[in-house]
Amino acid sequence: MNRTGDGTFRVTAGRVATWIATNALGKRDVWKGQIRQNRVPTPPAGKIYPLVQNSPFARKIASFVRLGADELQAVSELYQRRRKFAPGLELVHQGEIDQSAFIMADGWAFSYKILADGERQIVNFQIPGDFLGVRSMLFRNSDHNVEPITPIEASEVSKNELFQTFAKTPRLATAVLWAVSRDEAMVVEHLVGVGQRPAAERTAHLLLELNARLRLVGLGDKTGFACPLTQYHLADAVGLSAVHVNRVLREIREAGLMTFQNGRVTFDDYEGLVDFADFDRSYLDQDGPVSPY
């Protein structure tokens, strides 16, 4: 029972409900800027691999930098060496040397570190369009693990391939650098959350951020998104116990803000949730790179 989350069975939604009562009314300010919608440029004439322009990676890059025929061509070449990985199999192993990078094409993965006492901290989730393992190309030994959550497809990109592509299409290089920097900014945001935000806000914030990222590649909208994460994943990402994540999710659900159930996250009250989590709509929605290249 009580799976509908309508709050009839258990009325005490605690702190979250209190917050709603005291803060939400009248604070729903207007959406100043919608998360930038994915703009795929009209197909240029020629030999572009037909599906590339609709690929998550291209969609994401295209939202930063206008892609011409050259860039689309380069992207399609990067997409050649597709590989599949099953859940539980590590893509990048802590301490391994001379890794390639990957571009996620389909599925979800996460990067994490393990402490001596066995605790696991999830640093970030990777979704379609994301780069993966870039730092392991810069350092001799990669400093974290990456593991698929769902079966994934990813394109393997060697160091040389990538540098060569960059040399040919500097605008693409800038866009990728921009994307990588955005990822770093997300890690900082996670640090802020884990360090300072209360459990419920933190959890809500993470899910809102994932939603914003998924929207960039067309995998979600304001109503919600398909989410293969378990509550254990969530727990290790936000630095809580799985038990407490469960309680927090119940509170949020019973407050009528969001439902995390059956592989789907549903935003029952998007604006309310954004207010509650103090989610900055702009931080994943920066204007393009400053650099004119």
Partner DNA sequence: CGCGAGTTTGACCCTCTTCAAAGTTTGTGG
Partner DNA sequence: CCACAAACTTTGAAGAGGGTCAAACTCGCG
The answer to the question of residue 89 lying near DNA (CB under 7 A) is no
User: Of these partners, DNA, its own copies, none, which one is at the site of residue 30 (CB under 5 to 8 Å by kind)?
Assistant: none
Which region, judged by CB under 7 A, interacts with DNA, from 33-41, 91-99, 197-205, 207-215?
A: 197-205
Q: For DNA, give the closer residue by CB, 222 or 264.
A: 264
SS3 assignment for the chain: CCCCCCCCCCCCCHHHHHHHHHHHCCCCCCCCCCCCCCCCCCCCCCCCCCCHHHCHHHHHHHCCCCCCHHHHHHHHHHCCCEEEECCCCCCECCCCECCCEEEEEECCEEEEEECCCCCEEEEEEECCCCEECCHHHHCCECCCEEEECCCEEEEEECHHHHHHHHHHCHHHHHHHHHHHHHHHHHHHHHHHHHHHCCHHHHHHHHHHHHHHHHHHCCCEECCEEECCCCHHHHHHHHCCCHHHHHHHHHHHHHCCCEEEECCEEEECCHHHHHHHHCCCCCCCCCCCCCCCC
Which of 230, 282, 291, 293 forms a contact with DNA (CB under 7 A)?
A: 230
User: Of these partners, its own copies, DNA, none, which one is at the site of residue 230 (CB under 5 to 8 Å by kind)?
Assistant: DNA
The answer to the question of residue 281 lying near DNA (CB under 7 A) is no
Beta bridge partners of 114: 120
Q: For DNA, give the closer residue by CB, 230 or 282.
A: 230
Q: Under the rule (CB under 8 A), what is the footprint of its own copies?
A: 98, 113, 115-117, 119-121, 123, 135, 137-141, 143-144, 159, 177-178, 181, 184-185, 187-188, 190-192, 194-197, 238-239, 278, 283, 286-291
Q: For its own copies, give the closer residue by CB, 76 or 111.
A: 111
Taking Cα atoms as reference points, which of 20, 22, 61, 62 lies closest to residue 39? 62
User: Of these partners, DNA, its own copies, none, which one is at the site of residue 102 (CB under 5 to 8 Å by kind)?
Assistant: none
The answer to the question of residue 94 lying near DNA (CB under 7 A) is no
Q: For its own copies, give the closer residue by CB, 86 or 185.
A: 185
User: Of these partners, its own copies, DNA, none, which one is at the site of residue 123 (CB under 5 to 8 Å by kind)?
Assistant: its own copies
Half-sphere exposure of 37 (CA within 13 A, CB side): 5
Q: For its own copies, give the closer residue by CB, 153 or 189.
A: 189
The answer to the question of residue 164 lying near DNA (CB under 7 A) is no
The answer to the question of residue 18 lying near DNA (CB under 7 A) is no
The answer to the question of residue 122 lying near DNA (CB under 7 A) is no
Which of 231, 256, 258, 267 forms a contact with DNA (CB under 7 A)?
A: 231
Which region, judged by CB under 7 A, interacts with DNA, from 65-73, 163-171, 207-215, 255-263?
A: 255-263
Taking Cα atoms as reference points, which of 213, 208, 184, 181 lies closest to residue 57? 213
Beta bridge partners of 145: 112
User: Of these partners, DNA, its own copies, none, which one is at the site of residue 10 (CB under 5 to 8 Å by kind)?
Assistant: DNA
Q: Which positions lie near DNA, rule CB under 7 A?
A: 1-3, 10, 15, 198-200, 230-232, 239-244, 246-250, 261-263
